[in-house]
Amino acid sequence: MELQGTVKKIFDIQTFSSGFQKRELVLLTQEQYPQPINIEFLSEKINLLDNISEGDTVKIGINLRGREWTNPQGETRYFNSITGWRLEKIKNPQDEPVVASPEMRQSPAAAPDENPFVDEEDDDLPF
């Protein structure tokens, strides 16, 4: 799956006693009702966030993860997490240089008050 939006917040790297590391990012989706989505980057994937800043527009490849946990009282709970595995920075359209398309380019046509057929030879066609 993929999510696209604006980076709202990037958190610091968390390192646990086991040596496991994770880093979280909050993505604000781009839709009618924007949603702040918390996405985890784990282990070697945390370096994907090195060149990303808050305010950047990004596309993130994600996996949905679910797990079951039973507390000491015997109650079973279920948790979901969103894990990022790919990150692509998207350039904003206003940052792109404008390149003239063929339709936008003006051909070296004659000025409006000049006859465009001056160079054509006369022919004997009836129309």
- Coil, strand or helix: which one is 122? coil
pTM: 0.67
- Residue 2: the pLDDT is 95
- Coil, strand or helix: which one is 81? strand
Beta strands of 21-109 (E only): which ranges? 21-29, 36-42, 57-70, 76-90
Q: Residue 99 and residue 93: Cα distance in Å, rounded? A: 12
Divide the 127 residues of the chain into consecutive groups of 10 and give the mean pLDDT of each group.
Answer: 96 94 96 95 94 95 96 96 95 54 49 59 61
pLDDT in tens, 69-86: 999 999 999 999 999 999
